[in-house]
Chain A
Amino acid sequence: MIKHFLGLEWKQFRRASYFQKGIAIKILLFLAVLYFGGIAIFIGGIMFFGLKKTFPDIDPIVMVNNYLIYWILFELMIRYFMQQLPVMNIKPLMIIPIKRNSVIHYLLGKTMLSFFNFISFLLFLPFSIVLLFQGYPLVSVILWFFALMCITMSINFLNFLINKSNTVFYGIAAAVIVIVVLRYFNIFDVTEPIGKIFNGLYNQPYLAIIPLLIMLGLYRTNFNFIRKGFYLDGAISKKVKEVNATDLSWMDRFGGIAPFLKNDVKMITRNARPKQVVLMSFFFLFYGLFFFTQKVYIEEMPYLLGFASIFITGGFLLSFGQLVPSWDSEYYKLLMSQNIPYRQYLESKWYLMVFAVIVAFTLSTPYLYFGVDIYLIIAAGALFNIGLNTFITLFGGALNRVPIELDTKAKAFSNTNGFNPTQLLIALPKMVLPIIIFFIPYHFINFNAGLLALALSGVIGMLFKNFFLNKIEQVYQKGKYKTIAAFSEKK
């Protein structure tokens, strides 16, 4: 039975239309996987020695156990955003003599081979081996590692339940918030009792049966969940939610671009994939926390500040703008055959991105905490984003021809169009330009000159808006037939 499924998968993989074009991308992805896997192994290997050096009187395994809860929460968060229950087209399989249970077992079993599970495996295996070499008791270590793998698999299955069931999601989210708040106000540190639990697991290895049972329990729950919904009107067809038609007529004041703006707002609020993008771009706001809290960046590598400021206000611009016009791929033929001046279409996307930058900029006011200088850099970066980055991004999008399914969440690493060599070439000026524009005046004159240059470049860009949009429109027109053909291909 599995042979059949594997055969189908292989054919699907080989015959996907983008396989022929995307072989370079697949290789890059493979390398990325190797890279992250390598890092995991490396960290796992040196973790023991690193911990021993920093905390010489605490047993490294006790340290790991104490902070395991953070690792679990971190994994849950990443998996929630990026991991997907692999979907198999089960409609054709429902009416032929294949047992439903086989299909479901296969689906769930496939998830165990997910990249995320491998990371955990590659992280803790070297650590455990080092432990063994350091003379820790054999049975304890092995069963501890086994328990950890069961916990990883439990997270794997728990994630699907969180994704599928709103009640589970809110329950877990609420628990996380409670934990964080308690810790922040130093009322109660949950790592202590949880750490004791994991240490107990290590010290009494027969307790490893508990994670095993938890994992099996979660597997069963997932199984039953899918089994119940294994009807056409269950898991396969989307839930038909009642619509509250939003009245966006206040947008009509924007004139010709109003119909497109209204559609884009509806597109973002009513489809899973754009919602996912907007959510992720929100997290870009916090990028600065990483750069500005480390003195080393501010003092020794100030040119990187220009780079960082772009990301803070440019999250939406980069993640959404990169995929224009793919967002409209499902009805591209409609847009092409209607009386729609392409110029207006582009302009509406431009205004949308500008609006997002402005919103992000207002939300970044707390960065004043780091000083007026930092805030001004963010402001200059915002101007650069509005005046230049929008056009660069729109230009890159014109060369991008991957269709998008609006109502399905993107899987991790499925954003393969980002790895297309043309896209990488476009991405280069996006990152390098702000660094150069800021750094050269900063180096030769002073900090304020760098700021001024970055801000001015954005303003000048805005003045040339019509010129840029015209050029971009030309690119769209030239590639029109190729784009239509590419978007018509079904995944």
Chain B
Amino acid sequence: MITTSNLSKTYNGVTVLNIENLDIPKGQSFGLVGNNGAGKTTYFSLLLDLIQPTTGHIKNNNILVHESEDWKPFTSSFIDESFLIGYLTAEEYFYFIGELRDLSKADVDALVSQFEDFFHGEILGKKKYLRDLSKGNQKKAGIVAALIGNPEVIILDEPFANLDPTTQI
């Protein structure tokens, strides 16, 4: 599903990422681990076409990520808080993502209500903007938002950081 070939990224002569070959088949829960500074977030940014590769390419479902945008409809992600719109409430944010993925409000409500336990009553119906939630709650909102629309590829960067132990599934 996701094929990486000869991928490398260099900043000012310093190579921060170098992956010769990496294949992630469909249907797999793929955990990427590495030391701090190994290049995990860089890899995700390349996968989402947020930065340009120095060499090589990534193919998402046979679509060259940095040349076409056709991978966007079935890919969703949550990397850091810059993926949240701070001045929206959690519900508004979910509805916004839902609209982008052609889901009605009812569909979004149905999906999000499955996570009431996960949210511990801290996120839904709170009348708080996302920017006023705690870091961990913001993360929870972002993770659930990434699940909206039944995407085929979901990219999460350190999703368990800042979450309370009881919610680490």
In the complex, are the beta carbons of B89 and A333 less than 8 A apart?
Answer: no
Contact of A245 among B48, B84, B127 (CB under 8 A): B127
Once A338-B72, A484-B51 are accepted as A-B contacts, the answer to whether A271 and B96 lie under 8 Å apart by CB is: no
- Are B86 and A245 in contact (CB-based, < 8 A)? no
Contacts A/B (CB < 8 Å), 10 sampled: A240-B128, A259-B99, A270-B87, A331-B82, A331-B86, A333-B79, A337-B75, A339-B100, A340-B72, A406-B87
A452 within 8 A of B: no
Say yes or no: is B129 at the interface (Cβ < 8 Å to chain A).
yes
Contacts of B99 in A (CB 8 A): 258-259
Q: Tell me the bound Cα distance from A386 to B129 in angstroms.
A: 34
Given the complex, which residues of B lie within 8 Å of A259, measured CB to CB? 96, 99-100
Whether the pair B50, A333 counts as a contact (CB closer than 8 A) is: yes
CB pair B87–A271 under 8 Å, yes or no, is yes
Kindly list chain A residues whose C-beta atoms are within 8 Å of the C-beta of B96: 259, 262-263
Interface assignment of B59: CB less than 8 Å from any CB of chain A: no
Q: Which residues of A contact B87 (CB under 8 A)?
A: 266-267, 270-271, 406-407
Known: A238-B132, A263-B96. A334 touches B83 (CB 8 A): yes
| Shortest beta-carbon distance from B148 to chain A in Å | 11
Q: Whole-angstrom distance from the CB of A20 to the nearest CB of chain B?
A: 14
Question: Looking across the interface, which residue of chain A has its beta carbon closest to that of B129?
Answer: A243
- Confirm or deny: A287 has a beta carbon within 8 angstroms of a beta carbon on chain B: no
In this complex, what residue of A is CB-closest to B100? A338
Interface: B25 (CB within 8 A): no
Structural contact, A337 and B85, CB atoms closer than 8 A: no
Q: Give the size of the chain B interface in residues (CB under 8 angstroms).
A: 32
Cβ contact within 8 Å between A485 and B48: no
For residue B91, which residue of chain A has the nearest CB?
Answer: A245
Q: Which residues of A contact B97 (CB under 8 A)?
A: 338
Evaluate contact between B129 and A270: CB separation under 8 angstroms.
yes
B92's partner among A240, A245, A331, A334 (CB-CB below 8 A) is: A245
Chain B residue at smallest Cβ distance from A243: B127
B135 an interface residue at 8 Å Cβ cutoff? no
Known: A245-B127, A337-B50, A407-B131. A263 touches B101 (CB 8 A): no
A243-B128, A337-B77 known; A266+B49 contact, CB < 8 A: no
Answer whether residue B112 sits at the interface, using C-beta atoms and an 8 A cutoff: no
B88 at the A interface (CB under 8 A): yes
Prevailing SS type, chain A contact patch: helix
Pairwise interchain contact A331-B79, C-beta atoms closer than 8 A: no
Q: Which residues of A have CB within 8 Å of B50? A: 333, 336-337, 481, 484
Question: How close is B76's CB to chain A, nearest CB, in angstroms?
Answer: 8
**Across the interface, which residues of B come within 8 angstroms of A331, CB to CB?**
82-86
- By beta carbon, the residue of chain A nearest B130 is A331
Contact B132 A240 (CB under 8 A): yes
The listed residue (B51, B84, B88) touching A481 by CB distance below 8 A is B51
Contacts of B136 in A (CB 8 A): none
Q: Is A416 an interface residue (CB 8 A)?
A: no
B9 CB, nearest partner CB in chain A, Å:
12
Interchain CA distance A340-B100 in the complex, whole Å: 7
**A242 in contact (CB, < 8 A):** yes
Which residues 12-37 of B have a CB within 8 angstroms of A? none
Cα–Cα, bound, A238→B128 (Å):
12
Q: A331-B82, A338-B72, A339-B69 are in contact. List 5 more A-B contacts (CB 8 A).
A: A243-B89, A270-B87, A330-B85, A337-B49, A407-B86
| Cα–Cα distance between A242 and B125 once the two chains are bound (Å) | 11
Nearest-CB residue, chain A, relative to B80:
A333
**134-162 of chain A: CB within 8 A of chain B:** none
Is residue A488 within 8 Å, beta carbon to beta carbon, of the partner chain? Answer: yes
Indicate if A332 sits at the interface (CB-CB under 8 A): yes
B75–chain A nearest beta-carbon distance, Å: 8
Cα-based distance from A337 to B48 in the complex (angstroms): 6
B120-169 at interface with A (beta carbon < 8 Å): 127-129, 131-132
Query: Do the beta carbons of A266 and B79 come within 8 Å of each other?
Result: no
